[in-house]
Amino acid sequence: MTEATIPEEKLQEMYRIMYTIRRFEEKLYTIFLSGEVPGTIHQCDGQEAVAVGVCENLNQDDIITSTHRGHGHCIAKGIPLHEALAEIMGKKTGCSGGVGGTMHLYYPEKGIYGTTGIVGSGVPVAVGLALGIRYKGEKRVVVSFLGEGAVNQGAVHEAINLASVWKLPVIFVCENNKYAVSTPINETSCLPDVSERIKSYGIPALTIDGNNVIKVYTVTRQAVERARASLGPTFIECKTYRYKGHSRSDPAIYRSQEELNSWLKKDPLPRLRDYLLKRKTTDEAKLREIENEVGLTIDRALTFARKSPQVNPREIANYVFA
């Protein structure tokens, strides 16, 4: 599928979800500052095109595993916003009953098998999910998101190798946002492109502009087809950038304003918006409508989460064992 053949509704849907993620993260930022979010959050604003471009290729029963920076992935895969927000706020109505939090979002009903607090740890699990799919003879696929920093975890290498040898239906999507907390990739790898490192597993591995949602969408599409056709895994490195600090306590002073500015110019949201307007199939009014709707949905979700009861500590021990 090329850019030209993506249906209009699909493009609008992508915009809607990217916009949802952006607004979700912004809202979170506000309520974090007002003290409504315990712990910390790792925000993904700036990286929306990866989550959306990838997940728009997936069916509801396809599967993702995510990272610590996973709100976007989960939203793109369909997590109900109110349950996500409630979880991130530690409320009983959260998708994990409030015991997980931002780094432990699970929503199996939509194929979401977890954000995780241990860098790289979702990748071996994803390979296992893909093994399960193959074992059962199903045609589902798994996408495993990881950061470029996670590529330095041995677990990731073991897992990718296994997926390669077993030709499993899994796609590794690496969000290369240049930094692992404060450390730029050039201090932790001799090669500028992560995909170069992964070619060594004998699987297709490519690097693309992760802020171009259409590019992400079309490239992922091929990988998904490959996986569904039992041709094995693909690794897609998406170059992108996070606008905020690593987590809420990080002012990100290790980056220059210029660098940030240069990426703000490549902001995936206005890029898609302008593209839609230029094609003239969508007009400003339509986009405004989408934006307003998203705003309302997020407000409703927040109201829900705020009104939700606290966790009852006496009940959670039941979660440990089946």
Partner 1 sequence: MKTLTIAKALGQALSEEMRENRNVFLLGENIGFFGGSFQVTKGLIDEFGVERVKETPVSETAIIGAAVGAALMGLRPVAEIMYMDFIVCCMDQIVNQAAKIRFLSGGKLNVPLVIRTALGANTHGAHHAQCLEAWFMHTPGLKIAFPCTPYEAKGLLKSAIRDDNPVVFLEHKLLYGKKETNLETGQTFQRIRSLFSVPEEEYIVPLGKADIKNEGKDVTIIATGLMVYRCLNVAEDLAREGIQAEVIDLRSLVPLDKRTIISSVRKTGRAVVVSEDQVTAGVTAEISAVIYEEAFDYLDAPVQRVGALDIPIPFSPLAEDYTIPNKTRIYAAVKKCLERN
Ligand X SMILES: Cc1ncc(C[n+]2csc(CCOP(=O)(O)OP(=O)(O)O)c2C)c(N)n1
Q: Among partner 1, a second copy, ligand X, none, what binds residue 69 when CB lies within 5 to 8 Å by partner kind?
A: ligand X
CA angle at residue 232 from 229 to 235, to 5 degrees? 120
Which residue stretch of 60-68, 140-148, 184-192, 223-231 sits at the interface with a second copy (rule: CB under 8 A)? 184-192
Element holding 147 (H helix, E strand): strand 142-147
Q: Tell whether residue 160 is a contact of ligand X (CB under 6 A).
A: no
Among 194, 237, 214, residue whose Cα is nearest residue 57 = 214
Site for partner 1 (CB under 8 A): which residue of 149, 210, 232, 233?
Answer: 149
Residue 207 backbone phi and psi in degrees, to 5: -120, 130
Beta strand pairing call for 179-180 and 205-209: unpaired
Task: Give the separation between CA 130 and CA 166, rounded to whole angstroms.
Answer: 10
Cα distance between residue 77 and residue 307, in whole Å: 25
Taking the complex as a whole, the smallest distance from the CB of residue 44 to Mg ion amounts, in Å, to 11
Q: Which of 114, 210, 233, 268 binds partner 1 (CB under 8 A)?
A: 114
Segment interacting with a second copy (CB under 8 A) among 84-92, 191-199, 285-293, 309-317: 191-199
Token digits of residue 68:
């610590």
Q: Let me know: does 166 contact 201? Beta carbons within 8 Å.
A: no
Verify binding: residue 177, ligand X, rule CB under 6 A. Answer: yes
3-state secondary structure of 225: helix
Quick one: how far is CA 196 from the chain centroid?
Answer: 22
Interface with ligand X by CB under 6 A: which range of 56-64, 86-94, 147-155, 288-296?
A: 147-155
Given the rule CB under 8 A, which of 66-74, 152-160, 215-223, 272-280 is the region that contacts a second copy? 152-160
Given the rule CB under 6 A, which of 94-102, 117-125, 134-142, 160-168 is the region that contacts ligand X? 117-125
Among 1, 199, 270, 312, binds a second copy (CB under 8 A): 199
Q: Is residue 149 within the footprint of ligand X (CB under 6 A)?
A: yes
CA 119 to chain centre: 14
Give how far Cα 225 sits from Cα of 89, 142, 192, 233, 313, Å. Answer: 37, 12, 28, 10, 45
Please identify, among the stretches 71-79, 83-91, 188-196, 306-314, the one whose residues bind a second copy according to the rule CB under 8 A. 188-196
Residues between 34 and 93 that touch ligand X (CB under 6 A): 68-69
Least Cβ distance, residue 300 to partner 1 (angstroms): 22
Q: Among 4, 190, 285, 317, which residue interacts with partner 1 (rule: CB under 8 A)?
A: 317
- CB 43, CB 252: distance < 8 Å: no
- For residue 175, CA distances in Å to 104, 167, 178, 286 come to 19, 22, 9, 30
Q: How many other β-carbons are positioned within 10 Å of the β-carbon of residue 281?
A: 13
Task: Kindly state the tokens that stand for 152.
Answer: 């330095």
Taking the least distance from each CB to partner 1, the nearer of 162 and 301 is 162
Decide if residue 307 touches a second copy (CB under 8 A): no
Applying CB under 8 A, does 74 fall inside the site for partner 1?
no
Q: Is 167 in the site for partner 1 (CB under 8 A)?
A: no
239 binds ligand X, rule: CB under 6 A: no
Site for partner 1 in 287-316 (CB under 8 A): 310-311, 313-314, 316
Q: How far is the CB of 184 from a second copy (least distance, A)?
A: 12
